[in-house]
Amino acid sequence: MARQVTSRDADDTLQISIVRRILRKPVAGICLVYLVGVIGACCAAPVLAPDNPLAQNLSAVEQGPSWTHLLGTDELGRDVLSRLLYGGRPTLLGAAEAVVVAIVLGVVLGISSGYLGGWFDRIIGRALVDVGLSVPMIIILLTVLIVFDESMTAGMIAFGVLASMGVLRVVRSATLAAREELYVSAARVSGLSGARIVIRHIFPAVTGPIIVQATILGSTALVVQGGLSYLGLGAPPPAPTWGGMIEEAQQLIIGDSWLLVPAGLALGLSVVALGLLGDAIRDASQERWSVRGQPVVTRHLTRAHGPAVADPVPAPAPADGLLVVRNLTISMAAPDGDLPIVRDLSFQIAAGEVLGVIGESGCGKTLTVLSLLGLLPKGIYVSAGDAFLAGQPLSLAPPARGHLSNGIGMIFQEPVPSLDPVYTVGSQLSEVVRIKLRVSRSEARRQAVDLLRLVHLDEPEQVASSYPYQLSGGMAQRVSIARALAGDPILLMADEPTTALDVSVQAEILDLLSSLTDERGMGMLLVTHDWGVLADMCERALVLYAGELVETGTVASLWAHPRHPYTARLIKANPYFATPGAALTTISGVVPEPGNRPAGCAFADRCELASDDCRSHSIPLIASHTEGGFHRCLHSERIAPISK
């Protein structure tokens, strides 16, 4: 089996905690030590301060640093070090109050707005963010301070509320990007609730922007708090604050410039340290799941380039299918109304059957699968039709949740992006097992390892402890299959499950899927563009073109004698029919866009058999000679059997 080989240093780096990675950055270590030291010293001011910060000594005014007064004295003979330690307490506390308020409001509303979307997003974006960002902050702060009798707590809370609008906008943008990640879609298919998806998969993905915003806000809040104290607002004299000490020092700057140094340096260094530390934390958190090393495939298998041609074996569609889809129409919003993308599609899958769907890109294959999972992209929706799974209606309206608990598992085309990079493989599988089977953590972990063993992964315990980037493509796809099986589904959806894999491991994945469907009696809807995969896995197939079913029947009959020109051209474009030294056969033209579809046959402009009748009206499904087969072509008798 294919295994990934990574450098020893990369594996060792993963084992190092995020704190140690931060400390390994010299600048970050210095900033962290400084900030911890300042905060700790201010908190311990009653113990560390050499004198009472309010005690005056007029016989020792404006003295420079000495062993008696390490930072000197001010114009009233008060110890500057004592005032600096005590003054940092309200300064740092005010900045912390603002940051906490801004981050809590911004993160909660930003993630909610980005993840939920719709009317909630519009209200937050237009009625809250736009108004909040347009309000002059200084006027609001001064008004709050006047109304609340110069309460710095009220002022910093107001600052936090206003600053949360910027955090909200940044977090919302990051959430919108994270929501479209394949591993989030996989989590929805796995039946995770919206709250759990947000906590487990969305929030970790947006922690980087949140940390950066928190440090920027912390720096800004320190400046704002210091500025307000400098203006004489907040704690009244003689209570010390860093801003107040700067204001006092500037009055004596001509006679004694030293007094400006302690408070000014403390405030300035704190602002710079927060910014540098935020950058370091962001970089360290990204390094946690950054890709290192490249997979090395050590086993190679070969597979036939085309299906083995055999006599057509009639295989009628089941009367009572495991999955029944009737008149499915998928549309997108347009100025003139619904614009159909997939039109009037009906099919059935029996228990234990693998039904293939083939066609060019843009023909509606993936949208069909996503519609059955409630995962259609924004602006695209099911406008007509219904579906039944094991006789029970299947909801086609987003957001569809719990499909795995309803018996559907999904295998995505891209295996690694479908796994959350933040968590180990075992953690992600255990999460699904616990949700579905309501078992303890230890039992869920055991079953997760069993699932990895089921999909023929060597050393499943080690794989369970690995992060997705440590897996090769074939291993990651096996993990995706294991996750799809975690809820004991009766139907699998597989969207080109071997396209992203090295050709040497494609056959292994196909063999695994075939054996699992046979052993468990599951049905499968397999989307592919490869006739070899279709022949290896499927008895029947649907051929889609421009969102419309143009032909269906057994794979053997489609391959031997297609009844639609598009099917014949697809088969001829297979490299199996290539002549050495000659150019590959291609289909001229492109698939028409939904808004530019012709009134008649959608393939007419690319078809050499097309006539005026083909372009004048839509072509209904016509029964083929083979039992259970249908096609949409008026000239099917003119299509010659395929031969090589």
In our burial notation (b when 16+ CB lie closer than 10 A, e otherwise), range 498-515 reads bebbeebbbbbbbebbee
Amino acid, single-letter form, for residue 379: G
What is the structure's pLDDT at 11?
A: 38
DSSP annotation string for 270-292: HHHHHHHHHHHHHHHHHHTT---
Task: Say whether 100 sits in a helix, a strand or coil.
Answer: helix
* Lowest-confidence segment of 201-205, 572-576, 631-635 by average pLDDT: 572-576
Residue 14 pLDDT more than 70?
no
CA distance 372 to 324: 11
User: Is 313 a domain residue?
Assistant: no
pLDDT: is 581 or 269 the higher one?
A: 269
Model pLDDT for residues 117-176, shown as the tens digit of each residue: 888 888 887 778 877 778 888 888 888 888 888 888 898 999 999 999 889 988 988 888
Q: Is residue 298 part of a domain?
A: no
169-173, 317-321, 481-485: least confident range = 317-321
pLDDT exceeds 60 at position 13: no
What's the pLDDT tens digit per position in 587-608?
A: 888 898 888 888 889 998 899 8
- Greatest mean pLDDT among 59-63, 525-529, 636-640 lies in 525-529
pLDDT score for 631: 92
Contacts of 439 (CB under 8 A, 6+ apart): 433, 447
| Mean pLDDT, range 269-294, rounded to an integer | 68
Q: Residue 239's domain spans which residues?
A: 3-285
Helix (H) or strand (E) holding 342: strand 337-349
The residue type at 428? Q
Give the model confidence (pLDDT) of 356-385 as tens digits: 999 998 899 999 999 988 888 888 889 989
The CATH number assigned to the domain holding 26 equals 1.10.3720.10
- Output the pLDDT for position 398: 61
pLDDT at 320: 62
Q: Which residues have C-beta within 8 Å of that of residue 414, sequence separation ≥ 6?
A: 182, 500
First to last CA, the chain: 35
Helix (H/G/I), strand (E/B), else coil: 395: coil
What per-residue confidence (pLDDT) applies to 404?
Answer: 46
Q: What's the CA gap between 475 and 481, in Å, rounded?
A: 10
Confidence at residue 376, expressed as pLDDT on a 0 to 100 scale: 87
Q: What is the per-residue pLDDT for 527?
A: 93
Average pLDDT over residues 396-400: 62
Total number of domains constituting the chain: 1
8 A C-beta contact, residue 255 and residue 62: yes
The set of residues, in sequence order, having a beta carbon less than 8 Å from that of 641 and lying 6+ positions away, is 560, 561
**499, part of any domain:** no
Does the residue 373 lie in any domain?
Answer: no
Q: Is the pLDDT confidence value at 1 over 60?
A: no
Pick 232 or 31 by higher pLDDT.
Answer: 31
Task: Give the separation between CA 163 and CA 99, rounded to whole angstroms.
Answer: 9
pLDDT tens readout for residues 187-215: 887 778 888 888 888 888 888 788 888 88
Tell me the pLDDT tens digit for each residue of 512-524: 888 888 888 899 9
Average pLDDT over residues 473-477: 87
Q: 422 in a domain, yes or no?
A: no
Strand partners, 333: 338
List all residues 6 or more positions away from 183 whose beta carbon is below 8 Å from its beta carbon: 201, 417, 418, 419, 420, 421
Structure tokens of 191?
A: 């039946």
- For residues 87 and 263, is the Cβ–Cβ distance under 8 A? yes
CA–chain centroid gap for 535, Å, is 34
Tell whether 66 is covered by a domain.
yes
Burial (CB count <10 Å: 0-12, 13-18, 19+), residue 400: buried
Interhelix angle 260-287/242-251, rounded to 10 degrees, is 140
CA distance 157 to 154: 5
**Best CA proximity match to 551, nearest among 269, 347, 266:** 347
Which residues share a beta bridge with 408? 491
Residues 6+ apart with CB under 8 A from 560: 309, 310, 311, 312, 641, 642
Q: Is the dihedral of CA 288, 294, 295, 298 positive or negative?
A: negative
| Distant-in-sequence, close-in-space partners of 586: CB < 8 Å, separation ≥ 6 | 573
Q: Is the pLDDT of residue 314 over 60?
A: no
Residue 479 counted as domain residue: no
pLDDT of residue 260: 87
Asked whether residue 113 is assigned to any structural domain, the reply reads yes
Q: Residue type for 286, please?
A: Q
Question: Cα dist. 219→96, 223, 268, 278, 585 in Å?
Answer: 10, 6, 9, 10, 63
Please report, for the chain, how many H helices and E strands are present, in that order: 25, 14
> What pLDDT, on the 0 to 100 scale, is given for residue 8?
37
Specify the 3-state DSSP secondary structure of 333.
strand
